[in-house]
Homo-oligomer: A and B are copies of this chain.
Amino acid sequence: KNHNDDDNNKHTDDNDDDNNEDDLDLDLASVFVSDAQFNRNIFFDSSPQAVRLYMLYNHWGLQVTLYIFILVDLSLALFEEPAVLPLPLWATMSVELLCVVVFMARLVHYAKVIPRDKFWKDPKNLSLLFQLTLLDMLIYGSLRALDCSGVRWSRVFRPLLLVNITEGRRLRQAFRSIRNALPQILLVFLLFIFSILIFSLMALKLFSKRGLRTTDGAPYFTNFLQIVFDLYVLVTTANSPDVMMPAYNSSSIFSIFFIIFILVNVYIFMSVFLAVVYNNYKKHLKEEVRQLVRAKRHKMARAFAVLQQKSGEGAEPVVTHDRWSRLVRRVRPDISHAHKELLWSVCDPEEKGVIGKLAFVQLADLLNIEVITVKQRPHPLQNLCPALYLSKPSRLLSSIVQHRGFVILFDLIILANAVFIALDEENPLISNSEWFFLVVYLLEILLKLYVHEPRGFFSRHNFWNWFDTIIVVAALIATIVNSALKSSSGYTSRQVLDIVFILRVLRLIRVVDSIDRFRAIINTLIRIGPAILTFGQLILVVYYIFAMVGMELFQGRVQFFGPDSEAPERVYCGNPLLKDTAFARHNYCKNNFNQVVASFVLLLELTVVNQCSGFSLTTHPAARLYFLLFHITVVIIIINIFVAFVLEAFFVEYSVEKSDLQNSVEKKIEELQLGLEQNLVNSMETMDSENGPKKRPALLFKIASRRYRTVDALIQRMFENDLNPEDFNEDETNGNFSNPTFNL
C-alpha cells in the first residue's frame, strides 16, 4: 500500500522522471497486468529487484522446466520397485534427489519474490513435503543398505506437488470446491449407507434361512457384511444381475426387493448425489470467480496507480496512449501494432488520447479476447508468376476448389475409403487402393494450398487444416516405410502396420467437420478441452495416490502369466486362493497391482465398474474398504463434478452467446471496416477486389469469438452475468483477498 502512495506522489509531482525509473514503473505495471490476465494471485514484493525476479519466476521456460521435473518425479514409479523397467536403487534415488533440489530451488526463488513474512505463512506444505521425502529416502536407503525391506511411503505424497506449486491454482480450486461440497455429500452419503444397511438387514432376514446357493455353489446372502458389500457393488451395477439371480430363481416375488433397491439406490440416490455435487460446485465456483474478478480489478487498479498521470488540478487521473501502448508491448510482445491500436480504440472510443481508470481496468480482459489478425497477403505464386496465377484456367480451378461440391466430393471419397479400410487388406487390389487414396488426399491439400495463402491456411486457429495435413503426411511416411520394409526384407512390422491403420482410420474423422451441426458440438468439446485437463490432473492425483497405496497392499497377490506361458499356475493367476473363482475364470489375472501401469489400468476399470472380488479373496475381506473408498472418491465425487462441469459448460454454450466486451471489440472492428467475412482466408476474392474500385485494407481482424485463451475466462463467462461490472471501487478499499496460493 505504501509503495502505491509513493508512486502516486511521484507521478503527479514530476512528469519528467528519467527513462530508467519509467522502465521500472512499466515493469511493475506489466507484472500487475499479466497477473490480472492470468489470474495469478501472488503477493510479490514491489521492489525493483523483486519485480525482475518475479518476472523471471513467471517465465514460461522455468514453468515448463518445473512441470518436466514433476513429470520425471511422478514417472519414477515406473522404475522403482515394483517396477515396469527396473533400475538400480541409486539411479532412482539420485534422480529423485535432483528433482527435490530443483523444486527447492524454485521455492527459494519464490521466497526471494514475496515478502519474508508472507513466505513463512504460506508454503509450509511444500517444504514439509520435501522434508518428508528426504526423510523417507534416508530411511529407505539405510534399510536397503542393511538388506531390510522398507516402504517408500512418501511416494503417496508425490502427486501433491501438482497441487501445491504456484501454477496449480486451478487444481487447488477444484480441491477446494470438493472440500466445500463434502459436508453436503457426507449427509446424503450417510443416508445412502443407512438405506443400504436397511436393505441388507432385510436381505439377511429374507434369504439367509432359505439355503440358496450362488452359481459358484457358495451360500447366498448369509453373512451380513458380505450382503452389505454385495448390495453396494450392485449400486455400481458391476454384479447386476448375478447378485439377484439366486433369489429370483427361487421365487419371482423376490425380484420386487431388488427392483425397489435399484430404484432407490441406483437411480434416486445417484441422482441426488449428482444434484448435491452440482449445486455445491456451482455455488462455490460462483464465489471463487467473484473473488478472482475482485482480485483482478484490484491488480489492474494498482497497475493504473503506477502509470497514472494527473492532467490538471482536481482532474481525474489518466493514462496516456504512449504509456499504455508501451505497457501492452511489454505484456504481450506478440500482438501486432494494428491489433494494439484496435484495443486502444475500444478503450478510448472518443479518441481523447488518454483513458481513465474504468477503461484501463478492462485491459486484462481485452487481452484475453483472442483477435485473429489476418495479414491480407497475396498468394506467393501470384507474386512469382502473376500472369499464370491470374489466368482464366487458374481462376476456374480456384472456383472449383472453393465450391461446395468439392467438399462433398471429398466426403464421398472418405466414405469410399472407409469401406476399403474395412475390407480385407490381404487383397492386392485393396492394399494398392491405399496408394490411390493417399495421392488423392495429398492432391486435395496441394489444391487448397494453391488457392489459399499458405500462412493463412496454416494459421494457428485452423485446427482441421493442421489435422488433415499431419495425418495425411504421417500416413504417407508410414505407408512408404511399411512397403519399404516389406519389399526389402519380406517382413511386415506389426507395429508400423498398426500405426498405418490408426492413421488411416483417423483420417475418416474429417468427414465430421464438413457437417455444420456436428462441427458445433465438436467445437464445444474442443473448447472445454483445456478445462477437462484440470480434471485430468485431478484424476491423476487421485489415481496416483490410490495406485501407490494399492501397490503396497496388493502387490504380487495376483500374478499374470503371458499367453504363451505353460505354467500350471496360469489358470489361477499364480495364487491357489483364486482356484475356480470367477476372477480366474474370466482371465482377469492382468488386472493387478504389480506395477504402476497395471495399477492405473485396473483403477480405470474400477471407475467404470467396481469389481474387486479377486483382491479381497487373496488378502482379507477388509481389503474391500480400499475399493469402497476408491468408488466413493472417484465415482461419487470426482466423476459427478466432471459431469457437473460438462453440463454447465454446455448450458453456457447454449445460452450465452458472447460477452459484452467481445461485442464491443467486434463492434469496433466493424466500425473500422476491418472485419473479415465468414469465408476465412479468401485471397482469391481479395484479388478481385484489389483490381476493382474499392481498395480493402491489407490487415483484417476476426474474433475467435468462441475460443478462450484461458480456462478461467471460460469459467468466468459462466458466471459473469451475475457479476456487477461496476463494484470495483468498493473492492479496492477492502482489499481483503488474501493470497490463496498454498491454501489447499
Report A504-557 residues with CB < 8 Å from chain B CB: 504-506, 508-509, 512, 517-518, 521-522, 525
Verify if A422 is at the interface (C-beta below 8 Å from B): yes
**A560: chain B residues within 8 A (beta carbon):** 249
CB distance from A607 to the nearest CB of B (A): 8
A241 touches B591 (CB 8 A): yes
A696 touches B (CB below 8 Å): no
**Cross-chain pairs A/B with CB under 8 angstroms, 6 sampled:** A190-B518, A202-B505, A215-B587, A241-B588, A249-B590, A252-B598
A69: interface (CB < 8 Å): no
Determine if A201 and B508 form an interchain contact, defined as CB atoms under 8 angstroms apart: yes
Please give me the residue from chain B that is nearest to A264 by CB atom. B525
Interface residues of A in 178-195 (CB under 8 A from B): 187-188, 190-191, 194
A462 within 8 A of B: no
Q: Say yes or no for A24: interface residue by CB 8 A criterion.
A: no
Q: Flag the segment in A274-282, A364-372, A617-625, A681-689 that touches B.
A: A274-282
Given the contacts A242-B586, A279-B651, A237 and B608 also touching, CB distance less than 8 Å: yes
Q: In this assembly, does A650 line the interface, its C-beta being within 8 Å of a C-beta of chain B?
A: yes
Q: What separation, in Å, do the CA atoms of A585 and B245 have in the docked complex?
A: 12
Q: Which 9 A-B pairs have the closest CB atoms?
A: A205-B501, A275-B650, A271-B646, A241-B605, A202-B505, A240-B608, A255-B601, A275-B647, A271-B643
Asked if A15 CB lies within 8 Å of chain B CBs, one says: no
Indicate whether A654 reaches chain B with its CB closer than 8 angstroms. yes
Counted per complex, copies of this chain come to 2
Of chain B, the residue at the smallest CB distance from A418 is B201
Interface size on A, residues (CB 8 A): 79
A97 within 8 A of partner (CB): no
Contact of A191 among B418, B521, B639 (CB under 8 A): B521
**In the complex, A198 Cα to B522 Cα: how many Å?**
15
Instruction: Give the residues in chain B near A266, CB-CB below 8 Å.
Output: 608
- Tell me, yes or no, whether A597 is within 8 Å of chain B by CB: yes
A interface residues (Cβ-Cβ under 8 A, vs B): 187-188, 190-191, 194, 198, 201-202, 204-206, 215, 224, 237, 240-242, 244-246, 248-250, 252, 255, 259, 262, 266-268, 271-272, 274-276, 278-279, 418, 421-422, 498, 501-502, 504-506, 508-509, 512, 517-518, 521-522, 525, 560, 563, 585-591, 597-598, 601, 604-605, 608-609, 611, 639, 642-643, 646-647, 650-651, 654
Contacts of A563 in B (CB 8 A): 249-250
Given A279-B650, A586-B215, A604-B259, CB of A198 within 8 Å of CB of B242: no
Residue of B nearest to A257 (CB): B502
A259 touches which of B224, B521, B601 (Cβ 8 Å): B601
Docked-complex contact B647 and A588, CB < 8 angstroms: no
CB distance from A725 to the nearest CB of B (A): 23
Known contacts A204-B422, A224-B422, A271-B643, then 8 further A-B pairs from the complex at CB < 8 Å, ordered by chain A residue: A215-B587, A241-B609, A244-B605, A249-B563, A249-B587, A252-B597, A275-B647, A276-B650
Contact A505 B205 (CB under 8 A): yes
Separation of A421 and B201 alpha carbons in the complex (Å):
8
The interface residues of chain B lying within 8 Å CB-to-CB of A244 are: 605
Q: How far is the CB of A707 from chain B (nearest CB, A)?
A: 19
> Across the interface, do B512 and A601 meet the contact criterion of CB distance under 8 Å?
no
Contacts of A588 in B (CB 8 A): 241, 245
The interface residues of chain B lying within 8 Å CB-to-CB of A191 are 512, 518, 521-522
Rounded to whole angstroms, the CA-CA distance of A198 and B240 in the bound complex is: 29
CA distance A432 to B178 in the complex (A): 48
B201 touches A422 (CB 8 A): yes
Q: Please, how many angstroms separate the alpha-carbon atoms of A199 and B504 in the complex?
A: 12
Q: Are B240 and A237 in contact (CB under 8 A)?
A: no
> Please, which residue of chain B has its CB at the minimum distance from the CB of A560?
B249
A586, B245: Cβ atoms closer than 8 Å: yes
**Across the interface, which residues of B come within 8 angstroms of A422, CB to CB?**
201, 204, 224
- B608/A241 in contact, CB under 8 A: yes
Tell me, rounded to whole Å, the shortest Cβ–Cβ distance linking A508 to chain B.
6
Contact A501 B206 (CB under 8 A): yes
Q: How far is the CA of A267 from the CA of B509 in the complex (A)?
A: 20
Q: Which residue of B lies closest to A500 (CB)?
A: B205
Q: Are B518 and A187 in contact (CB under 8 A)?
A: yes
Residues of B close to A279: CB separation below 8 A: 650-651, 654
Per a CB cutoff under 8 Å, which of B215, B505, B597, B609 touches A585? B215
Contacts of A504 in B (CB 8 A): 205
B245, B249, B525: the one within 8 Å of A268 (CB): B525
Q: Give the distance to chain B from A583, nearest Cβ to Cβ, in Å.
A: 11
| Partner among B206, B275, B517, B639 whose Cβ is within 8 Å of the Cβ of A498 | B206
Q: Is the CB of A609 within 8 A of B237?
A: yes
Residues of the B chain whose Cβ atoms lie less than 8 Å from the Cβ of A501: 202, 205-206
The answer to whether B274 and A647 touch across the interface, beta carbons within 8 angstroms, is yes
Complexed CA–CA distance, A268 and B522 (Å): 11
Q: How far is the CB of A175 from chain B (nearest CB, A)?
A: 20
In the bound assembly, the distance between CA atoms of A518 and B268 in angstroms comes to: 15
Most buried by B among A204, A505, A563, A611: A505
Q: In the complex, what residue of chain B is closest to A645 when comparing beta carbons?
A: B271
Query: Which residue on chain B has the smallest CB distance to residue A262?
Result: B608
| A421 surroundings in chain B (CB, below 8 A) | 201, 205
- Of B198, B248, B521, B597, which contacts A188 at CB under 8 A? B521
B509 touches A272 (CB 8 A): no
Which residues from B are CB-within-8-Å of A276?
A: 650
Report the separation of the CA atoms of residues A508 and B204 in the bound assembly, to the nearest whole angstrom.
15
Q: How far is the CB of A45 from chain B (nearest CB, A)?
A: 43
| Bound Cα distance A485, B56 (Å) | 88
Q: Are A201 and B505 in contact (CB under 8 A)?
A: yes
- When the two chains form their complex, are residues B268 and A609 in contact, meaning their CB atoms are under 8 A apart? no
Shortest A406–chain B CB gap in Å is 22
**Cα(A650)–Cα(B34), bound, Å:** 40
Q: Which of A198, A242, A266 has the most CB of B within 10 A?
A: A198
Q: With the chains together, A631 CA to B438 CA distance in Å?
A: 39
Residue of B nearest to A276 (CB): B650
Within the assembled complex, what's the spacing in Å between the Cα atoms of A2 and B490? Answer: 94
